[in-house]
Structure 1
Amino acid sequence: MDITDSTYTERPAKREDRLHSLEDKLGAVLDHLGYEYPTPHAHDLTTAYQDSVSASSRDEPSVGNESSAYLGPNSSIILPSWDDITPIAELYLVFCESQPLPLFHRGSFLASLQTRDVEIIYAMLALSLRFSDAYHHRASDLTELVNSYAEIARGLVMKRVSEGPVELSTLQCLCLLSLVDFTNGNTHRSSIHSSLAMNLARCSNLALEPRTPTSNILREERRRCFWSICLLKRLHGGDFSILDNPDMGGPPFPHSPTRPARVMSPGPSTVEVRRSDIQDQGIMAYVIMLSEVFARTARYVRLHGRPSNVPPWSPHSEYSKIIALQMDLETRMPLTHRFKPANLSNRSTEELQTHREYWGPWFLNQFMYHTILCLLNHPLLLSLSLRTFRSTIPEIFLQHTSDLISSHTTWIIHFINYFEEKSFLVSDPLLGYSAAVVATIELQLSFTDNPTIREQKRETFTKCVQFVQQIGKMWPHMARLAQRLQHLEDAVSATYQSDPEAHNQSLLIDLSKFWEILEYSSNSDADSARRLFGDSLYSGTPLMAAEVSQTSPLPAPTRIGEERASNYTTPNFGANTAFPGAHDYHAGSLVSPQQLTLTNDEFSILATNFFSQGQEFLRGGDTWDNIGNF
């Protein structure tokens, strides 16, 4: 089944044929491999591959040893030769391992490949083929092959789950399949795979260290699998319930590589020596710790700025609790993994590429840190959440949010410029999401009468979109995210008029276009649920009620040397004020006249308020490099 086919409308008979075809494929693979479950490493996949080719050649056309050994919908899908698998496995280590999931023991991965369970091989191929130059010029063949490998891996791992024995490789395969599905836009099935892995980890007590004698490599892979499941759930917007008990801290963090020494000055600075009292747990440990804050921030975003009785500046608000948690984690971050000691400006592209096992998690840590603060202080989210506190917003809070959004968007843009300057290929899709968040902020800030600021913000928005598009060459869900950003720009631009007196006060901006970008876990294709669920469960795409936010722009913080020019007059609309032409509104359109209400108002916002809200966050003052570095 092609999971990227958005026009999937198979009839029941055809679907049944496909099911029989899949059963035949799985049976052939299991028979050819002589799959013996009780001893997970008893079979040699090299011999198994030769047997599978020999057996299939009696019934199927000869295919030789070509890596793309996919013979069509009615044929068996066999493993490529090991000469073809090994380079793909090397690509996995370079571009996927610890970017973001630290799933395997790097030092032994290639050597142990031929003794690993076959579902791991299929899933690894499905994830890593996108980085192979041999397939990049054949996009349709690549998609078909990726989906075919994933389909076989899914069938094998589900057979494990239903019949046993479930092994560590079963959980590792589920993690890989969850990534494959998520990046293909199949977020529902991705969540099912990661939740199944989490439940199996809980049932098997994977959080506990084994009491029986175990090799160091197996012990390390158990830890890496546990924390990979944790990262999967947290980064994709789910809850990692294994650690709900605060007294259960989980196994030790995965082993992490040390920061590569600087070429010109390999020794630690005096500042680093002075701060050596902070125990270094490894860069992956700090990625895992920060992912908890990221997950809480994602839940905060899903509230869509719904008003609360507790203002965000209160220590009891979720906003303040998340900020406090991030500050606490920052106090435990040793200097060696921070920005300044990294000395990025003096690192060559070759250095970065050679040590991706360190720099991949390091960049992920930086991007998560800045993205969390961009989301918490997003002008749109703050405007929505503060609409019941308009007359009581403290000046210091306005300064605080304005400074944070200015600083941390600029840091992410700085890293994007750095990647471009160094020609460094970013493979972690979460970095693309971070750029998309910044793009939504820059888009809002670009609607100003100041031509210098407008041009600067437009250039930044374009740079962010291009960065997401670049990552989208490997990951389909990033390509879809870039398209959503472009559609959002077109739609929002259509509502803007530079003359404030000319604004049509009935124009609304459909905020669902923002939520589908800001909510990373919602980045699925349109027919993902339709392909997964049958008629008895599928209820159709939920239709959002088209309603308008009862909000107005936040006041700007007062700064010395700055004149506050207000170009906009906040319209004095009350609840239930009728707009002309409301009967012509269609729920799917972006701009619409509509009746104001006070409920479910995260769906749309007055265009005038949206544009003027962005201008209140424009600021001068401190340069970005003096504040905010992590």
Structure 2
Amino acid sequence: MTSSRGRRRLHHACLTCKRKKTRCPGEKPACSSCVRLKQPCSYPPARRPSQGGRSDERLAHLEEKLELILSGSLYMRLRRMRRSNRSIRQEQVIEEVADTSEKSYSASPPALEQNYPVSHPSTATFDSESSNLRPSPSDIAIGIGLYFKYCHRQPIWCFEREEVSDYGSISEELACSILALTSRFSETRDQAQLHGNIAKSLIMLRIANGTVDLPTIESLCLLAYSAFMDGNVHLGQFNLGLAFQLCRSAMLDLTSVYAIDGPITERKKRLFWSLQILEQSYGRQTGLLSVPTDIWRPSYSEVSPNGPPLPRDKLGCSSPSDTGVWNTSVHLGWVWSQVRKYVSDCSRNKLEEPWRYDSMYAKVLSDFMETENRIPMCHRYDSVKFYERKVEEVRMNRDYFAPWLKEQFTYHSIHTVLNHPFLYIVGAQHNPNLAIPNTFWRRSSELALLHSTWIVRMIDMVVDKQVPLVDPFFGHVAAIAATVHLYYCCAAATKLKHKSNTDFAKCRRFLKSFIPSSEACRELDRNLDKMTRIAAGSESMDVEDWMPSRIYLSVPLMWDILQFNSTTDTQEIPTAGLLDASLAPIIAQADLGESSTLEIIVATSPEITINTADGGQQAPTLSCKPPPSSSRESRNTVLDEPSVEQVDSLAFTTTPWLYADSSQLLNIEDMGGFDNSQPTIDESRGMGWWEDENFGNPMFDSF
């Protein structure tokens, strides 16, 4: 109604009132406003109605609005209107304010405001010299530099440096999308929303005109990642879903498309699997329209033989047949998506006995073992020896170490979440069989504690090597590990209490480091802070050594953290800057009262005994070890061997194989290269590795 009235009023206005942007009474032959000001008054010739009638008029109106967005006239008009209002008489100001919304939807702007060429949408392009909304080459250069510093292969991998080296050839929507993502890392972060809005308008224009190309879908990938970092999960999932639909239209999900090697074939592969990585970490797990995780099974599976191939990635590989480190993170990411589905089922009380061979737990664990068994030796922890690398070496080889760290964190987070004590404590309330103490309880508790400890160890190394990580996934993993250490803050063993308190603090500090660039991590930190205050109850947590006798775990907050249900505003995010208020979903507020908390006391804390002489990771058999000469020689092409011999206190200088079933653990005396006088763990005593006799082990000097 308002926009229609605005068009009629504009059509009836005289040319003088149009030029001055004032309300025209519309009298003819001369309006009273011009008569009062003694100005000439004339009207434009009447327009002939088109054959299409009202439909053609509405279509023309929509086209002109898009042209206004592209040319920058709409933005500049609003800006100039604010500036000119200061010099207009008070009565005109009142009229202008009352009519602002109507003028914003004008079908044609005043003549003086038409400073930029307007063409038909099907041929509309940016003129780099005349358009004020196309980023300048210097801005694009800064944005691309920030992208390769913070986002390249962490986790998305859309293009290489040489593919975007010519700033003038970069499409407008891709340039704006890059700046929308990277402005958070610069002093111009307040312009991120403007760049994002322009990029979205350009993308929609290409879709409407049928001119979608590869940079258009890449732009959606960048915008989706940016939305996830901002905690706008719904908008991120929309951008992701739209990108997948465009990939389907271009048949990028079929192997046949990649049969002929073209100039952008690898770029297509990188884009497709970058979208899949985002889906693995941030896709919705519930609802009829959610994407089933089984269809994304890795390419070595027979379930989906026609899937697109992974991109070529030879960084750090020791042989041509080795899978690249970024590709291995894709495989592990698929298992992580299965873990997220498992947690989602648990939150809806769909948990069966995990020890059953046909349980979801067993299926996920089987897929996990199959995936880790195919990861090349050259990417494993003991081969890379990340803890021995110099800071400068890590910085120079960031393209390798960024996805390698993602791989390591994903591995430990899978173990931690699958065996999280909270899942089975809550599950026991709905499944009586889970309330019976058994071997599974003991085993899962050991794995959760062990791998959450390893997450802290990885955090220590990231901090020590000064690696700039910005992917919210790392903050999510830190929050998950923090919940495990919070659980063990009330363990019976004093040493374990101290260790858990220290590790909990490290996880929180690491999570807080993501807050400047990610609103999603800010909300995660808030949830963790709320849960910590609830856990403390009446006890004070001001002291450094918080040693509670019991804790209270908030069930809703724990589910929010485990499922990464973090949004920046619970009242506004359901619309996601996308939906009308009439379509906004109604979300029930979580009950944070006493009935939604679990009381954990020392008596119910499981007694754990585990030999962590090998860090909870089995060493490979001799037949699995790669030949020292070939491996060392090939790896030198990308990564230099560690130049400084340092001691990894957690792993006794030679951390064993990372990817292995930790059920077969080695005694320290069985590990070569160590003094037999080193304290060992007496398994016959059944004591935990945190007990007084064992906790002094140099394995944990760094904690």
- Report the TM-score when normalising by structure 2: 0.65
Q: How does 1:314-463 map to 2 (within 5 A)?
A: 314-387=356-429, 388-390=431-433, 393=436, 395-448=438-491, 450-463=493-506
1:485 pairs with one of 528, 531, 537? 528
Q: For the residues of structure 2 that align with 1:218 and 1:30, how far apart are their CA atoms? A: 37
Q: Which residue of 2 aligns with 1:85?
A: 140
Q: Which residue of 2 aligns with 1:474?
A: 517
Contact 2:535 2:553 in 1 (8 A): yes
Q: For the residues of structure 1 that align with 2:99 and 2:506, how far apart are their CA atoms? A: 45
Q: Which residue of 2 aligns with 1:616?
A: 606
Quickly say closer, same or farther: Cα 1:123–1:307, change in 2 above 3 A.
Answer: closer
- What do you get for the CA RMSD once the two structures are aligned? 3.6
What amino acid maps onto 2:404 in structure 1?
W
2:335 pairs with one of 293, 296, 304? 293
1:108 pairs with one of 154, 162, 171? 162
Q: Which residue of 2 aligns with 1:124?
A: 178
Quickly say closer, same or farther: Cα 1:208–1:440, change in 2 above 3 A.
Answer: same
Q: How does 1:528-547 map to 2 (within 5 A)?
A: 528-530=573-575, 531-544=577-590
Quickly say closer, same or farther: Cα 1:614–1:303, change in 2 above 3 A.
Answer: farther
Shift of 1:129: 2.1
| Deviation readout 1:543-567 (Å, 9 max, x if unpaired) | 34xxxxxxxxxxxxxxxxxxxxxxx
Contact 2:258 2:265 in 1 (8 A): no
Shift of 1:292: 1.3
Shift of 1:479: 2.1
Q: How does 1:440-589 map to 2 (within 5 A)?
A: 440-448=483-491, 450-494=493-537, 509-526=553-570, 527-530=572-575, 531-544=577-590, 587=591
Shift of 1:282: 1.0
What amino acid maps onto 2:573 in structure 1?
S
Quickly say closer, same or farther: Cα 1:16–1:287, change in 2 above 3 A.
Answer: farther
Quickly say closer, same or farther: Cα 1:357–1:35, change in 2 above 3 A.
Answer: farther
Contact 1:243 1:249 in 2 (8 A): no
1:253 pairs with one of 291, 302, 310? 310
Shift of 1:381: 0.5
Q: Which residue of 2 aligns with 1:195?
A: 241
SS at match of 2:514: helix
Q: For the residues of structure 2 that align with 1:304 and 1:380, how far apart are their CA atoms? A: 10
Q: How many residues align?
A: 501
Provide the identity percentage: 25
Q: For the residues of structure 2 that align with 1:18 and 1:412, how far apart are their CA atoms? A: 56
SS at match of 1:536: helix
2:617 pairs with one of 608, 614, 627? 627
Q: Which has the higher relative contact order, 1 or 2, with Cα contacts under 8 A spaced 6 or more apart?
A: 1
Contact 2:567 2:573 in 1 (8 A): no
Q: Which residue of 1 aligns with 2:72?
A: none
* Higher CA-based Rg: 2
Q: How does 1:184-263 map to 2 (within 5 A)?
A: 184-208=230-254, 216-238=262-284, 240=291, 244=295, 246-259=303-316
Q: Which residue of 1 aligns with 2:200?
A: 154
Quickly say closer, same or farther: Cα 1:348–1:532, change in 2 above 3 A.
Answer: same
Q: For the residues of structure 1 that align with 2:263 and 2:552, how far apart are their CA atoms? A: 57
Q: Which residue of 1 aligns with 2:19?
A: none
| Deviation readout 1:224-259 (Å, 9 max, x if unpaired) | 111111111111134556983934442221222421
Q: Which residue of 1 aligns with 2:48?
A: none
Q: For the residues of structure 2 that align with 1:212 and 1:390, how far apart are their CA atoms? A: 50
2:598 pairs with one of 603, 606, 609? 606
Q: For the residues of structure 1 that align with 2:196 and 2:177, how far apart are their CA atoms? A: 6
| Deviation readout 1:329-385 (Å, 9 max, x if unpaired) | 111111011111001122111111111111111111111111111111001002222
| Deviation readout 1:194-222 (Å, 9 max, x if unpaired) | 01111111122012357699774411111
Contact 1:407 1:627 in 2 (8 A): no
Deviates more, 1:93-102 or 1:300-309: 300-309
Quickly say closer, same or farther: Cα 1:591–1:341, change in 2 above 3 A.
Answer: same
Q: For the residues of structure 2 that align with 1:382 and 1:406, how far apart are their CA atoms? A: 15
SS at match of 1:434: helix
Shift of 1:159: 1.6
What amino acid maps onto 1:91 in structure 2?
L
Q: Which residue of 1 aligns with 2:685?
A: none
| Deviation readout 1:565-600 (Å, 9 max, x if unpaired) | xxxxxxxxxxxxxxxxxxxxxx4xx342x4xxxxxx
Quickly say closer, same or farther: Cα 1:213–1:319, change in 2 above 3 A.
Answer: closer
1:312 aligned onto 2:302 = no
What are the ranges of 5 or more consecutive residues in structure 1 without an aligned counterpart?
1-12, 54-76, 136-140, 261-267, 269-275, 545-586, 595-603
Q: For the residues of structure 2 that align with 1:456 and 1:330, how far apart are their CA atoms? A: 29
Shift of 1:327: 0.1
Q: For the residues of structure 2 that align with 1:178 and 1:363, how far apart are their CA atoms? A: 22
1:52 pairs with one of 94, 115, 131? 131
Q: For the residues of structure 2 that align with 1:29 and 1:426, how far apart are their CA atoms? A: 45
Q: Which residue of 1 aligns with 2:621?
A: none
Quickly say closer, same or farther: Cα 1:508–1:248, change in 2 above 3 A.
Answer: same
Contact 1:312 1:318 in 2 (8 A): yes
Deviates more, 1:514-523 or 1:306-315: 306-315
Quickly say closer, same or farther: Cα 1:309–1:295, change in 2 above 3 A.
Answer: closer
Quickly say closer, same or farther: Cα 1:627–1:160, change in 2 above 3 A.
Answer: same
Contact 1:373 1:405 in 2 (8 A): yes
What amino acid maps onto 1:85 in structure 2?
I
Quickly say closer, same or farther: Cα 1:310–1:19, change in 2 above 3 A.
Answer: farther
Quickly say closer, same or farther: Cα 1:485–1:33, change in 2 above 3 A.
Answer: farther
What amino acid maps onto 1:606 in structure 2?
L
SS at match of 2:361: helix
What amino acid maps onto 2:508 in structure 1?
V
Q: For the residues of structure 2 that align with 1:372 and 1:99, how far apart are their CA atoms? A: 18
Quickly say closer, same or farther: Cα 1:383–1:436, change in 2 above 3 A.
Answer: same
What amino acid maps onto 1:244 in structure 2?
I
Quickly say closer, same or farther: Cα 1:118–1:365, change in 2 above 3 A.
Answer: same
Shift of 1:503: 9.6
What amino acid maps onto 1:316 in structure 2?
D
Contact 1:98 1:361 in 2 (8 A): yes
